[in-house]
């Protein structure tokens, strides 16, 4: 196998991994929306390089137009949850000064109430999960937040894996591809927990391809 073919094969594996992790994020927001009977659910990714929040996955209102939309990281309630790392339940966003009403207007959907939790992975804040306009049940808010925390844990794992796949893709661009693959292998070896297994599978595929040379 030529170096160019190897590069193409590894890139295809990275792309496949990214698509799989995106699908997992989509399933998290779909199930969260269904479980809470909400009008919408969304996952924001923190782009540290640009200091922005990006709509990464959406179920319900806005799913057809908002994925990929960017806002400054401190914007609105999502920005507050990101910075403070604190979950939040608001039954009437119109009465909360943290709500970015102007931005909501531009999206074409202004929620009445929401729940939001930070997405934390190994002490890093990766983004925010929001559930919008669930039926108002103040007496169950604490229990619902506990349940939303479980969804947040799954979303944070998927988001971390997605970011790893994107870093791998970026590392394969330009020159010195094989050296970058070696560097990626070293990074994979340092991974722990749930992120390690899918990364090791990718390396196993690479090893199989190398054996065919």
For 168, what's the count of Cα atoms within 13 Å in the CB-facing half-sphere? 28
> Given this model, what pLDDT does residue 80 score?
96
Structure tokens of 94?
């119109």
> Given this model, what pLDDT does residue 30 score?
93
Distances (CA, A) of 187 to 49, 159, 181, 195: 20, 17, 10, 11
- Residue 159 CA to residue 25 CA, distance in Å, equals 7
Distances (CA, A) of 8 to 64, 177, 213: 31, 10, 14
- Residue 41 CA to residue 155 CA, distance in Å, equals 12
Phi and psi at residue 58, in whole multiples of 5°? Answer: -140, 140
| CATH superfamily to which 37-155 belongs | GAF domain (3.30.450.40)
- What does pLDDT average to in each consecutive run of 10 residues of the chain (213 residues)? 46 55 85 92 93 94 90 94 94 91 89 94 91 80 83 85 73 54 63 73 68 52
User: For the chain, what are the domain ranges?
Assistant: 37-155
What is the pTM (predicted TM-score) of this model? 0.71
- Whether the Cβ atoms of residue 24 and residue 16 lie closer than 8 Å to each other: no
> What is the bridge-based pairing of β-strands 88-90 and 70-72?
unpaired
């Amino acid at each position: 196998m030529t170096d160019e073919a190897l590069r193409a094969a590894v890139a295809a594996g990275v792309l496949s991994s990214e698509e799989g992790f995106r699908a997992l994020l989509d399933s998290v927001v779909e199930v969260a929306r269904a479980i809470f009977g909400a009008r919408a659910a969304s996952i924001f990714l923190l782009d540290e390089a640009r200091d922005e929040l990006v709509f990464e996955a959406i179920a319900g209102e806005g799913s057809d137009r908002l994925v990929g939309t960017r806002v400054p990281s401190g914007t609105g309630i999502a920005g507050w949850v990101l910075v403070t790392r604190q979950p939040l339940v608001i039954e009437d966003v119109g009465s909360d000064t943290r709500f970015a009403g102007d931005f909501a207007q531009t999206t074409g959907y202004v929620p009445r109430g929401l729940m939001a939790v930070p997405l934390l992975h190994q002490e890093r804040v990766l983004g925010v999960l929001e559930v919008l306009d669930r039926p108002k049940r103040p007496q169950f808010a604490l229990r619902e937040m506990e349940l939303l925390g479980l969804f947040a844990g799954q979303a944070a794992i998927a988001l971390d894996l997605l970011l790893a796949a994107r870093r791998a893709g970026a590392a394969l661009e330009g020159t010195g591809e094989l050296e970058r693959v070696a560097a990626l292998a070293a990074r994979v070896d340092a991974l722990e927990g749930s992120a390690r297994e899918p990364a090791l599978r990718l390396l196993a595929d690479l090893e199989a391809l190398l054996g065919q040379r």
